Amino acid sequence: MATVNVTDASFQSDVLQSDKPVLVDFWADWCGPCKMIAPALEEISDELADQVTIAKMDIMENPDTPGSLGVQGIPFLALYKGGEKVAELTGARPKSQLKAWLEGEL
């Protein structure tokens, strides 16, 4: 399963009301580190598809949600379970570190 795109309008239903954990990648097209981790997140999405949904939110097209959540630096990854943020990570990391962090939080 590939990553899914989330918008300000769909954040509530796609993330907060999801039956399984959702990792939200807050990113922007102009962000080099965001582009660096995108392929790793796609691979992790495929590898952990039964455990977690990986969602992407473009902060330039959807400024309300990141603003209300206090997102200040990108890439910013936030893991939600049962409608609550349970973990977060700011900055780019190699795939192995991203996957190990995520698995440790699931």
Q: Which residues belong to the active site?
A: 31, 34
Which stretch of DSSP H or E encloses residue 58? strand 53-58
| 72 CB-contact burial (10 Å; exposed 0-12 / middle 13-18 / buried 19+) | exposed
